[in-house]
Amino acid sequence: MNVLVIEDNEQGLYLVRLLLESRGHQVFGARDGPEGIAAAQESAPDVILLDIQLPHMDGHAVARALRALPSLNSVPIIAVTSYAMGGDRAEALAAGCDAYIEKPIDPDTFVTQVERVVSAGR
């Protein structure tokens, strides 16, 4: 599976990459919203993992921009974020995300959570 991770935190990107690659997935990284949108158009990912708190463009705006692109409309987007207040999940889903995983991620279950979303499709 090709996974695009849009994450500005180097340690967070490292951990997600390590976990996914250990299960045989190919991981591409982007450090901000505009870079992530460009990378999504170039890499044809099977899933996009999207931090909500990003520089230059927040994750909600990135999700809306990705959903506006016909070539990416069916690609699952998973918000992976430390935003864990009451309405944060609903706001991420309303912006176009298909699922929501809270940080800190659980290394024992994270990859299974991602794979489950992808296998369920949109």
- Which alpha helices (H) appear in 1-122, and where do they start and end? 10-22, 33-43, 59-67, 88-95, 110-120
Sequence ranges of the domains in the chain: 2-117
Fold of 2-117: Rossmann fold (3.40.50)
CB distance 56 to 32 below 8 Å: yes
d(Cα 73, Cα 86) in Å, to the nearest integer?
Answer: 27
Q: How far apart are the first and last CA of the chain?
A: 16
pLDDT, one tens digit per residue, over 67-116 is 999 999 999 999 998 876 778 889 999 999 999 999 999 999 999 999 99
pLDDT, one tens digit per residue, over 47-66 is 999 999 999 999 999 999 99
CB distance 28 to 7 below 8 Å: no
